[in-house]
Chains A and B, each alone.
Chain A
Amino acid sequence: MTNDNKVLTEQEQDFIKRRRRRSIAIAVVLAALVVIFYAITVVKLGPEIMVRDL
């Protein structure tokens, strides 16, 4: 890995910073979807959520 010590250009650093922020944004959206689906399930099914034929 001869390139490990290569100094990143300003443009590359900026790109990495943007990509990192995009990744965080996607993570936040996914986490929000999990919460939303969980909440919808609980609200729509209520206590019935425990009633199921096995």
Chain B
Amino acid sequence: MAYAENNSDTLETVSTGRVEDYFALLKPRVMSLVVFTGFVGLLVAPGGVHPVIGFVAILCIAIGAGASGALNMWYDADIDRVMSRTMNRPIPSGRIAPGEALGFGMTLSVFSVAILGLATNWLAAGLLAFTIFFYAVVYTMWLKRSTSQNIVIGGAAGAFPPMIGWAAVTGSVSLDALILFMIIFLWTPPHFWALALYKKGDYEAAGIPMLPNVAGERVTQNQIVIYTVLLTITGFGPVLTGLVGWFYAIPAAVLGVVFSVLAVRLRFSQGAEMKRRARVVFTYSLSYLFVLFVALLADVGLIRWFGGVS
């Protein structure tokens, strides 16, 4: 048996990673949010889509997002090694070689874009390709390490999925798709800056210019308030365009007001209390986006199947 003759050195020429390690390269937690928002974009788009094509579209968006996660981990292995939050990722912990992650990410990128294009249309595929490029190259390689506005602009990558879902169904991008994009785009800064406020030391150790490290906590707190208020206002966009009615508007108002109150309370706190409240804002922001999109879906469902309640 050939493998019995191998010593541990030659074993290293083949991958030593577990299946779970490859799965971890896809950033499954980010992926779950992408799947969810992409799914909502797909379902609220007018016209509808065959369930099989819809499933394939969501799968491609998920794999494409996962691929950009793998490319991100390939490039960021050096700084991931330094931060407590990321030091157990497959590459820094030595379970997967950097080259493997690069090949894995590139392969999945090409396949997800090609299959999405063949199954739906090339506008959706082009948007997916641009999203992967934007996250892996524009955000990871360029902005993340060079500007404190990194996650503001990089947030665009996370905002594309509902637009891709929309484009997969309609073959076009409308104002509604743009509003869904804007909601996630404006949501990203308060979400990540809250994280950066209580993980400040980590980012400092890794030399990443997050806003709290570069501009200070006060500036970050102010910015969180500004973006949260803008987000709350933009949250009403789908009501103004007539995509949804009151069944969405009421939860959107409540969610937005609560988010704004939490952001203002964070603004007027400091020290350990500030870190605690930053953690609350971070956790709440996840529920905010989830519930808002559920409300969007529920309202569109009501309009479509029961003629609406508004």
Residues of A within 8 A of B (CB): 1, 3-4, 6, 8-9, 11-12, 15-16, 18-19, 21-22, 24-25, 36, 39-40, 43-44
Across chains A and B, which 4 residue pairs bring their CB atoms closest together, nearest first? Answer: A25-B19, A43-B52, A6-B4, A39-B52
Given known contacts A22-B15, A22-B19, A25-B22, is B56 in contact with A40 (CB within 8 Å)? yes
Asked if B175 is at the interface of the complex by the 8 Å CB criterion, the answer is no
User: In whole angstroms, what is the CA distance A1 to B2 when docked?
Assistant: 10
Tier of interface size on chain B: 20 to 34
Q: Is the interface of B mostly helix, strand, loop or mixed?
A: helix
Secondary structure type dominating chain A contacts = helix
Residues of B in contact with A (beta carbons under 8 Å apart): 1, 3-6, 8, 11, 14-19, 22, 50, 52-53, 56, 59, 115, 118-119
Residues in B neighbouring A36, C-beta threshold 8 A: 56, 59, 115
Kindly list chain A residues whose C-beta atoms are within 8 Å of the C-beta of B19: 18, 21-22, 24-25
- Check A40–B52 contact: CB distance below 8 A: yes
Extra 5 A-B pairs, beta carbons < 8 Å, given A36-B59, A44-B53: A3-B1, A6-B5, A12-B8, A15-B16, A43-B50
The answer on a CB contact under 8 Å between A21 and B18 is yes
